[in-house]
Structure 1
Amino acid sequence: MRVGLLTMALLVVGACSSPDLPADGLGTIVEVVDGDTVVVDLAGHRETVRLLGIDTPETVHPDRSVECFGPQASARLRLLLVPGSGVLVTRDVEPRDRYGRLLAYLERLSDGLQVNMALVERGYAATLHIDPNDALRQELAAAESRARAAGLGLWAACGGPHEPLA
């Protein structure tokens, strides 16, 4: 319920954002790029979307080698968001990153799964807080603490994010 209310609040905030951006709303997954980046069709416009509040080990970064648990994180996101699936795309305060990617939280339409949160809860992603985007900061941090304590995913396999692939 709390995340649902937050989603509605973020939609209102997002609707007041820059007019040259596609509005928050319904999208269709075109492609999963890696564990925290997807391509979404928003009203006929393809957008590369970087999932907000999380960071997964690298698999396609031009300046880094593949990191421990990166392939697993990418595979998990591919299972969660298959091409053609519908998502609710919700921005926070800062709409884009330095690479021009749309920054957003994604909710799977088929069942309401909050994708960013699901990746952190199962240890496929660590939290990444970059001001001013902090709508889910506390919830994501709590989920990361639980995943660490339970030794899930990258916390068991690698000891944390950004370790080289052995």
Structure 2
Amino acid sequence: MVQVQQITNGRDFEVAGMVGQPEITERVRLEGIDVPDRAQSPWGEAARTKLKQILGNQQVLLETDIAPRDSKGQRLAYAWQGGKLVNEELVAEGYALAVPHLPNHKYDRRLARAQDRARALGLGIWNPQQPMRSTPVEFRNQEGSGKG
């Protein structure tokens, strides 16, 4: 178990108490999901707020998959809090998209099922009254090219 220190956005947070380095803070990215960019109003801030509600200042159990870090060296993990898979909870409530990230695939089916359910129920980003019109990747690409 590690202590959550700060929520950066809807899928990144900082923890302290990693084995062998209890005084060092490390950034963790939730694996198998993508969340709206914070500039993607209102979904990005909603995802951050939801993650803060779930994890804010609490202890969390981190589980890694085949590749524990991304190409930039950031820790990738599935987070467990109160017996629930946080990654799945965010997808199930419509705050995140299930996005496979090979070689990691441990919970891909579980996340896909949660997304199918959220979409069918019109939750969060799937709300037909206010749907998210572009994926986080599409939005970031637009922003990066000066179109957004």
On whether the aligned pair clears a TM of 0.5, the verdict is yes
- How far apart are the structure 2 equivalents of 1:46 and 1:159? 33
Counterpart residue identity of residue 154, structure 1: I
Provide the TM-score with structure 1 as the length reference: 0.74
Which residue of the partner structure matches residue 105 of structure 1? 78
1:33 and 2:35 are equivalent in the alignment: no
Q: Deviations over 1:127-165 (max 9, x none)?
A: 11111100000010010001011110011132453376x
Deviation at 1:46, TM superposition (A): 1.7
Deviation at 1:40, TM superposition (A): 1.0
Provide the TM-score with structure 2 as the length reference: 0.82
Deviation at 1:99, TM superposition (A): 2.6
- How far apart are the structure 2 equivalents of 1:33 and 1:159? 21
Which residue of the partner structure matches residue 56 of structure 2? 82
- How far apart are the structure 2 equivalents of 1:58 and 1:98? 20
Q: Deviations over 1:7-41 (max 9, x none)?
A: xxxxxxxxxxxxxxxxxxx1110110000001111
1:50 and 2:29 are equivalent in the alignment: yes
Deviation at 1:47, TM superposition (A): 1.4
User: Of residues 119, 137, 148 in structure 1, which corresponds to 2:119?
Assistant: 148
Counterpart residue identity of residue 40, structure 1: V
SS in 2 for 1:34: coil
- How far apart are the structure 2 equivalents of 1:114 and 1:128? 15
**Equivalent residue pairs, number:** 131
Deviation at 1:113, TM superposition (A): 1.9
Query: Which runs of 5 or more residues in structure 2 are unaligned?
Result: 140-148
- How far apart are the structure 1 equivalents of 2:113 and 2:46? 22
- How far apart are the structure 2 equivalents of 1:159 and 1:74? 16
Counterpart residue identity of residue 46, structure 2: Q
Percent of aligned positions that are identical: 35
Q: Identify the structure with the greater strand proportion.
A: 2
Deviation at 1:72, TM superposition (A): 0.4
- How far apart are the structure 2 equivalents of 1:38 and 1:158? 26
SS in 1 for 2:84: coil
Deviation at 1:82, TM superposition (A): 1.1
